Amino acid sequence: MRPPATRFGMFLDDYATILNPRRYVEAMTAAFVGAGGEIERAGVSALTREGDGWRLQGAGSRRFEHVVVAAGAWSRTLLDPLGIRVPLESQRGYHVQFEGGDGVISRTVVLAGKKVFATPMELGLRFGGTVEIGGLARPPDARRSDVLQRIAVESFPQLAGLSAQTWMGHRPCMPNSVPVISEAQGQPGLWLAIGHDHLGLTDSLPTALRISDGICGARS
């Protein structure tokens, strides 16, 4: 359905959507474990060089020949102490997800004038957007999700009265929007996969391939 006050739109027929990011990640981790990988969930407080490898300090405290720092907007807490300077900043974003907004739209609709993405997800109709430079510690600012909710209801009045959940997340951003996907200079075995900006989910697979090529040698 066309949002009111919209005069024209552009149809992108090769646009793809992940309907449930959690289920997507769970499927990938299951495939990783199925292929012999091991998963351990633990906070890493520091990285220290040990011989020709790296020790992860914190729960577990294990040593590895290669370590990939992919800690999103928090990566500097691990890199700064090693003298690796990366101008990474969080661009905080928000979404509002309506329960029961089925059938309002059938695919992602970008409200380009408002810079808001509306996507029918498995668990509800989600409106995401906004950029806030607010650091890592500050709590979410409800005024931002309120604005998203207002835009959603103005654009699709049938959403009025539906219950909605809000969320704030951190987009790890570089000043030039180009992610860092490489071995850290002068630090053999320490790999960086950071700064994926607004496209970290989209870019995750090419990033993983580039890092694994770097560690294991490029595929022929």
Query: What does the binding site for ligand FAD look like in residue numbers (CB under 6 A)?
Result: 43-44, 70-74, 78, 93-95, 128, 169-172, 194, 196-202
The CB-of-7 to ligand FAD minimum distance in angstroms stands at: 25
Name which of 5 and 39 has its Cβ closer to ligand FAD.
39
Give burial (CB, 10 Å; 0-12/13-18/19+) of 96.
Answer: buried
Name which of 169 and 189 has its Cβ closer to ligand FAD.
169
Which pairing describes strands 89-98 and 124-132: parallel, antiparallel, or unpaired?
A: antiparallel
The CB-of-165 to ligand FAD minimum distance in angstroms stands at: 13
SS3 call for 208: helix
Handedness of CA 98, 104, 106, 109 (dihedral sign): negative
The CB-of-1 to ligand FAD minimum distance in angstroms stands at: 22
The answer to whether 1 and 104 have CB atoms below 8 angstroms apart is yes
User: How far apart are the C-alpha atoms of 92 and 88, rounded to whole Å?
Assistant: 13
The CB-of-136 to ligand FAD minimum distance in angstroms stands at: 10
Name which of 3 and 129 has its Cβ closer to ligand FAD.
129
Tokens found for residue 195 = 């700064």
Name the residue with the smallest CB distance to ligand FAD: 200
Name which of 25 and 158 has its Cβ closer to ligand FAD.
25
The CB-of-197 to ligand FAD minimum distance in angstroms stands at: 6
% helix, strand, coil for the chain, step of 5: 25, 30, 45
User: How far apart are the C-alpha atoms of 38 and 190, rounded to whole Å?
Assistant: 19
Name which of 162 and 208 has its Cβ closer to ligand FAD.
208
Name which of 46 and 158 has its Cβ closer to ligand FAD.
46
Q: How far apart are the first and last CA of the chain?
A: 48
Tokens found for residue 97 = 């997800």
The CB-of-156 to ligand FAD minimum distance in angstroms stands at: 19
